Structure 1
Amino acid sequence: MTTAPAIELRTFTTLDTVRGDLLDVYADVRAPLLHLPNYAVTAFGERLDRHAAEPGFGAVLAYAGGHPIGYVYGNTIEHGDRYWQRTVPGPMAQYTERPVVALKEIGVRAQWRGTGTARRIHDAFLATRDELQVTLMVNPAAGDGKVQALYRSWGYEDIGQSRPSAASPVLAVMIRVTR
């Protein structure tokens, strides 16, 4: 019986050394959707660069045998941020009165799904954050609803909807406390 390589989690606050690994994992994770303009690797790269330039950027990547297998990244958002401006209905003040960390992307290669890797990456990311709450957007159709259900099992609750761009589907906006 072969044992899987141990997973190493690495934390980053810039893209300098990790951008290529993020793009590589993203392309694998989103392979079935890459033909859609909003999911194209170039579109993701543009979003990634924009997010990395925003306040409070951070990322955690998981490596197995020296190869990237999963990632999460996000940044701080404040009251009045475009993230909240696009949320319908407008979020209650309890969600926006203090800075919140917005989890912008999370992905794990197919062979590592169902192993707890996504939750480990997610929790390691939140452990580096000072914000009291974390928010994310998810396509309710992803995995026939299984992805949103997974986030609910992690303690997230639905607070509205958003359509970040014309090319984006309508996404569910979810939030929870960080710890």
Structure 2
Amino acid sequence: MTSAPAIDLRTYNELDAIRGDLLDVYAEVRAPLLHLPNYAVTAFGERLDRHATEPGFVTVLAYEGEHPVGYAYGNRIEYGDRYWQRTSPAPDEQYTSRPAVALKEIGVRPAWRGTGTARRVHDSFLASRDEQHVTLMVNKAAGDGKVHSLYQSWGYKDIGHSQPSPASPRLTVMIRLTR
């Protein structure tokens, strides 16, 4: 890993002012997959717009100057949320009986990978959360399993699988304590 670059982490609870920045970073982060329907920028934009209306929505954007280089966003989920309903096997009650935070997306532009930026964005996202657990979904095959391994190194453990939409790949659901 190279030394940590100088970045400014900014937190937002509304999407309007930063939607374009999020879409720009997403397009570069997911460039190799944009030909797949689930990963298309328009599909991401639709998910983003829906997620932004859900309870506890927060986005953290990393900037170098005024250039966005990474992001994370998510929201609070509660017992009975479709997130948990689509997870198989059904998650243990210790994870679903209280609100959790779902990290819906995290990404860092390729030039910023390996610099610690993703971890800084992740930790900043969790810093203001009061939920006990954080959960995320990952395509285990992405990056030859490197992303899954990275999340494991951050303390996440596998608890099941989910396919959020017919166009989505089967994803691994992971969870950890927020602190």
Q: TM class, shorter-chain normalised?
A: over 0.9
Instruction: Give SS of 1:140's match.
Output: coil
Q: Distance in 2 between matches of 1:130 and 1:18?
A: 24
1:5 Cα shift? 6.1
1:91 counterpart letter in structure 2: P
1:29 and 2:63 matched: no
1:103 Cα shift? 0.1
Instruction: Give SS of 1:22's match.
Output: helix
Q: Distance in 1 between matches of 2:5 and 2:98?
A: 40
TM-score normalised to the size of structure 1?
Answer: 0.97
Q: Hey, what does 1:136 align to over in structure 2? A: 136
Cα deviation digits, residues 57-107 of structure 1 (max 9, x gap): 001000002100000000000000000000000001000000000000000
2:157 counterpart letter in structure 1: E
Q: Hey, what does 1:166 align to over in structure 2? A: 166
Q: Distance in 2 between matches of 1:4 and 1:99?
A: 33
1:26 counterpart letter in structure 2: Y
What's the RMSD between the two structures over aligned residues?
Answer: 1.2
Cα deviation digits, residues 13-50 of structure 1 (max 9, x gap): 01021100000000011111111000000000000000
Q: Hey, what does 1:61 align to over in structure 2? A: 61
Instruction: Give SS of 2:83's match.
Output: helix
2:94 counterpart letter in structure 1: Q
TM-score normalised to the size of structure 2?
Answer: 0.97
2:142 counterpart letter in structure 1: A
Q: Distance in 1 between matches of 2:93 and 2:38?
A: 30
1:111 and 2:88 matched: no
1:148 and 2:145 matched: no
Instruction: Give SS of 2:14's match.
Output: coil
Structure 1, unpaired ranges of 5+? none
Identity of aligned residues (%): 77
> Could you tell me whether the CA contact under 8 Å between 2:25 and 2:109 is conserved in 1?
yes
Q: Distance in 2 between matches of 1:63 and 1:140?
A: 28
Instruction: Give SS of 2:106's match.
Output: strand
1:10 Cα shift? 0.1
> Could you tell me whether the CA contact under 8 Å between 2:5 and 2:115 is conserved in 1?
no
1:54 Cα shift? 0.4
Structure 2, unpaired ranges of 5+? none
> Could you tell me whether the CA contact under 8 Å between 1:138 and 1:171 is conserved in 2?
yes
2:7 counterpart letter in structure 1: I
2:86 counterpart letter in structure 1: R
Name the CA shift for 1:157/1:40 in 2 (closer, same or farther; >3 Å). same
Instruction: Give SS of 2:45's match.
Output: helix
Q: Hey, what does 1:47 align to over in structure 2? A: 47
Q: Hey, what does 1:176 align to over in structure 2? A: 176
